[in-house]
Chains A and B, each alone.
Chain A
Amino acid sequence: EVHLVESGGDLVQPGGSLRLSCAASGFTFSSHAMTWVRQAPGKGLEWVSAISGSAGSTFYADSVKGRFTISRDNSKNTLYLQMNSLRVEDTALYYCARETGSSSGWFIDSWGQGTLVTVSS
Chain B
Amino acid sequence: DIVMTQSPDSLAVSLGERATINCKSSQSVLYSSNNKSYLAWFHQKPGQPPKLLIYWASIRESGVPDRFSGSGSGTDFTLTISSLQAEDVAVYYCQQYHSTPYTFGQGTKLEIK
Evaluate contact between A61 and B101: CB separation under 8 angstroms: yes
> Measured between alpha carbons, how far is A62 from B101 in the docked complex, in Å?
8
Which residue on chain A has the smallest CB distance to residue B51? A111
A45 at the interface (CB under 8 A from B): yes
Number of interface residues of A (CB under 8 A): 23
Evaluate contact between B101 and A107: CB separation under 8 angstroms: no
B contacts with A: majority SS = loop
Task: Tally the A-B contacts, defined by beta carbons under 8 Å.
Answer: 64
Which residue on chain A has the smallest CB distance to residue B38? A105
B61 at the interface (CB under 8 A from A): yes
* Residues of B89-113 contacting chain A, CB below 8 A: 91, 93, 95, 97-98, 100-107
Evaluate contact between A109 and B102: CB separation under 8 angstroms: no
CB distance from B46 to the nearest CB of A (A): 11
Evaluate contact between B93 and A45: CB separation under 8 angstroms: yes
Given contacts A44-B107, A50-B102, contact A109 B52 (CB under 8 A): yes
> Measured between alpha carbons, how far is A118 from B107 in the docked complex, in Å?
23
Evaluate contact between B101 and A47: CB separation under 8 angstroms: yes
Query: What are the 7 A-B residue pairs with the smallest beta carbon separation, nearest first?
Result: A111-B49, A59-B100, A45-B104, A44-B107, A47-B102, A61-B101, A107-B97
A sample of 9 cross-chain residue pairs with beta-carbon separation below 8 angstroms, ordered by A number, consists of A37-B50, A45-B93, A45-B95, A47-B100, A47-B103, A107-B52, A108-B95, A108-B97, A111-B49
